[in-house]
Amino acid sequence: MNETYPFSLEPLPYDYDALEPVIDAETLRFHHDKHLAAYVEKLNAAIKPHQDLHNMTLEQLLTEPDKIPEEAKTPVKNNGGGVYNHQVYFNAMEKDEFTTPEGEIGKAIERDFGSLDAFMKEMTEAALSQFGSGYGWLVNNNGKLKVINLPNQDVPLSDTLYPLLPVDIWEHAYYLQYQNRRPDYVNNWFSLINWDYVNKRLEDSRQWFEEHQ
């Protein structure tokens, strides 16, 4: 994806069938090629008339709302959030092989949750308690890991929050395969987590906080 406008649809880092049987190819193709593509298209359309926004990165568009013209604030927030959240979601998954977090992320989960099981329980509760559409998130909260949920395409990116790992609980993420069985989808999703990617985001979060505090 381009760093600035015009943003482009970032290809998946794996084949459409790579996440089966947890997420089938039809769901993944529809989610990426239709839903994410629409967010990219609408974000570009919102930015196009505003030359001052053309050199802003996606992170800047999401964290510097004072620079966004009033008529573009809502479409940039919603569609920019949709692009950002989906990029993290897709990149934070890999082939269905349950692995455990190692390195810094493993130590941080043990420190802040007590165990991987305790983290998974908290993440599940966050995902299942979110009313309607949104995400369950593992975030770095200024040096401490925390689980939160956020509605719609809100992004946990600020001077004190950095997003590490999302589970997408919009119905388009699972409904073709799981229908109304959101708990089954969330439970199975844990086997897809790409902990190397999450560990990299934990490293990135430290630089983010240094630059924004």
The torsion region of residue 114 among left (phi > 0), alpha (psi -120 to 50) and beta comes to: left
Give backbone dihedrals phi and psi of 22, rounded to 5 degrees, phi first.
Answer: -65, -50
* DSSP per position, 72-139: HHHHHHHHHHHHHHHHHHHHTB-SS------HHHHHHHHHHHSSHHHHHHHHHHHHHHS-SSEEEEEE
Length of the chain: 213
How many C-alpha atoms does 15 have within 13 Å on its Cβ side?
A: 4
3-class SS of residue 37: helix
Question: CA torsion sign, 74 to 44 to 50 to 52?
Answer: positive
66 in a known ligand binding site: no
DSSP state letter for 7 = P
d(CA 98, CA 106): 14
31 in a known ligand binding site: yes
50 in a known ligand binding site: no
Binding residue positions for Mn(2+): 31, 86, 168, 172
Binding residue positions: 31, 86, 168, 172
